[in-house]
Amino acid sequence: MGPDGAPSPAVPWRKVLWECQPFPDNYVDQRFLEELRRNEGIRQYRYWAVGLLSPETLLWTSLVCSLLGYGLHRAWTSEAEPGCEPRTRLADLQSAAIFLSFTFGFSPVLKTLTESVSTDTVYAMSAVMLLAHLVSFPYAQPSPPGSFSLNAALFASVCLASRLPGALHTFAMLSCALMVFALWPCLLQRLRENAPNHFTGLCVGVCVGGVGGLGSQSPGGAVLLALALGSVTLLCPMLLVRLQRHKDNIQGPWDEAEIHEDLSLFLH
């Protein structure tokens, strides 16, 4: 049946115009909608664009940030106590060269490391390692970073970096990870020594940034992180102070004698 209700004759309709057919010119049959194509060749727009964080961008950003941080660190170190021997610029350059060359050289190998390991294992390993990093971090003296914490953090970042699609991605992520885990605590330490007010502000800023970043991926996680941060930073110290009044240590003449050796007598 055509659209204007004309009775279909015995000859089938063919989609040609040079023949004189008993159908009207705008006649279509029931196979009309089979050739419908929708949304062909249009560009897919996404809210978070894929190319937002390309490895080149990350590299340049981290390079700029590290240079800035290095400059700050140098500025603050020169005001430090004159007792310790500062590293020369050449030694720093050498270290940087070693980092970059090794990372760049190994990134194709690193990319294929966890190819055959399942995603769950990788995520679990990274999570455990980062937790170990948090636990063993030398909070009191972060300037030379503790071996185990740094190693755990780097191991986790290598595991994660090996999941990325390209060698350049791996290199960029590793450089970024190195900056965050190895160099950033040194800078923070200098900052704390020299400008404590700024330090507090920066810490708060970092926390907010972390929570916000997590919130972009999963709001529940962001809430949990905020709670954890709040409890560790605010709640636990308050508990410690509050519970001081329940302390009850007694000492008296029944204690064992302790000998305090004063070796300075022997130095002269």
Partner 1 sequence: MVLKIFFPQCCNRADSGLLVGRWISGHDSAVVLAVIHYPFIPGQVKQYIQKIQSQTGEELSVLGSWSLPKDGEEGMESFLKDLSTMFPQRRWLTVHRVMGKTGFSCRVTHRDANGQTIQPETKKKKEKKEVEKADGENDGGEEQTEGEEKKEEEEEEEEEKVIFVHYEQRKVMLSELHPIQNGIPETQTDPPSELRQMFHAVASCQPLYFMDKYDDGPLKSTHWQTEGREASIIVELLKQGSVPLCLLLGAMLSVWTWICNIRLFSLSPVRFLSSKLSTCVQLSYRTEHMKTLSSTKQAKDHTHFMSKANMVVSVLVDVALGLLLVSWLYRDDHIHMLANTLVPAADHVAKELEQLLQWLMGAPAGLKMNRALDQVLGRFFLYHIHLWISYIHLMSPFMEGILWYGGLSACCGLTFALSLLSDMVALLTFHIYCFYVYGARLYCLKIYGLSSLWRLFRGKKWNDLRQRVDSCSYDLDQLFIGTLLFTVLLFLLPTTALYYLVFTLLRLVVVLFQGVLHLSVDFINSFPLFAIGLRIFRSYRLAEGVKFRVLCEEPGSALHLMMDINPLKGSNVVQTYRTPTYSCYPKDSWLALVKKLFVGELIYPWRHKTTKTD
Contact 13, 27 (CB under 8 A): yes
In which residue are the tokens 């050498």 written? Answer: 94
Q: How many residues does the chain have?
A: 268
Rounded to a whole number of angstroms, the minimum distance from the CB of residue 112 to partner 1 is 6
**By CB under 8 A, which span of 17-25, 28-36, 154-162, 228-236 interacts with partner 1?**
154-162
Angle at Cα 188 formed by Cα 187 and Cα 192, nearest 5°?
120
DSSP state of 7: P
Contact 181, 157 (CB under 8 A): yes
- Spell out, one character per residue from 160 to 199, where the chain touches partner 1: x when CB under 8 A holds, - when not: ------------------x---x-----------------
CA-wise closest residue to 154 among 184, 130, 123: 130
Give the chain's count of helices (H) and strands (E). 10, 0
Angle at Cα 255 formed by Cα 250 and Cα 261, nearest 5°?
120
Element (H, E) at 129: helix 119-136
Of the pair 21, 151, the CB lying nearest partner 1 is at 151
Rounded to a whole number of angstroms, the minimum distance from the CB of residue 178 to partner 1 is 7
Question: What sign for the dihedral angle of Cα 186, 191, 197, 203?
Answer: negative
Q: Give me the torsion for CA of 232, 233, 238, 241, rounded to 10°.
A: 90
Per CB under 8 A, 55 contacts partner 1 = no
Per CB under 8 A, 146 contacts partner 1 = yes
Work out the number of other CB atoms within 10 angstroms of the CB of residue 262.
Answer: 7
Per CB under 8 A, 70 contacts partner 1 = no
Of the pair 30, 116, the CB lying nearest partner 1 is at 116
Per CB under 8 A, 132 contacts partner 1 = no
Query: Chain-centre distance of CA 230, in angstroms?
Result: 21
Of the pair 157, 211, the CB lying nearest partner 1 is at 157
- Spell out, one character per residue from 79 to 118, where the chain touches partner 1: x when CB under 8 A holds, - when not: ----------------x--xx--xx--x--xx-xxxxxx-
Of the pair 69, 211, the CB lying nearest partner 1 is at 69
Give, as ranges, the residues between 209 and 268 that touch partner 1 (CB under 8 A): none
> Site for partner 1 (CB under 8 A): how many residues?
27
Per CB under 8 A, 21 contacts partner 1 = no
Contact footprint for partner 1 (CB under 8 A): 95, 98-99, 102-103, 106, 109-110, 112-117, 144-148, 150-151, 154-155, 158-159, 178, 182
